[in-house]
Amino acid sequence: MPEPRHSRKTRQREAVLAELRKAKDHPTADQLYERVRKAIPRISLGTVYRNLELLAAVGAIRVVGSPGGRRYDGEMASHHHVRCTGCGRLDDVHMDVGLEMPRSARFSHNYELTGYQVEFLGLCPACVKNFSRPGRKT
């Protein structure tokens, strides 16, 4: 993990990063705080927030914006996301979306692109099941 200038590795930061890298559900800072507290009971929520911001600033983690707040992703390999519009679940999507879309954005808006992320929207299997349940009011 790259370290920012004038910063040192800390046990708290290493615990936050390790827990986030294990997570597959793109947790919020509050959710991550609850998980890290199992290893470091006296860690504060502010410490978790500060370390998440620092890790994001140095490119060690990703911030994924979603309705309801910021979520964090410890997987740094190139990937996209699919978000359930029913419950907010966020999952990774590992696929090539092609180059035509980024080229189009660059040429139509004169941006010098440095990357892109795609978010697909839909209903997760649990929400589909709930939605199609007999007797459900629409």
**Average pLDDT for residues 77-85, to the nearest whole number?**
89
- Look up the CATH architecture of domain 77-138: 2-Layer Sandwich (3.30)
Question: From CA 113, how far away is CA 57, in angstroms rounded?
Answer: 19
For CATH 3.30.1490.190, list the domain ranges present in the chain: 77-138
Summarised one tens digit per residue, pLDDT across range 40-56 is 999 999 999 999 999 99
Give percent above pLDDT 90 in the chain: 52
For CATH 1.10.10.10, list the domain ranges present in the chain: 1-76
Please give the mean pLDDT across all residues of the chain.
84
- Look up the CATH architecture of domain 1-76: Orthogonal Bundle (1.10)
CA dihedral 49, 50, 52, 57 (to 10 degrees): 140
Contacts of residue 63, Cβ cutoff 8 Å, sequence gap at least 6: 52, 56, 70, 71, 72, 73
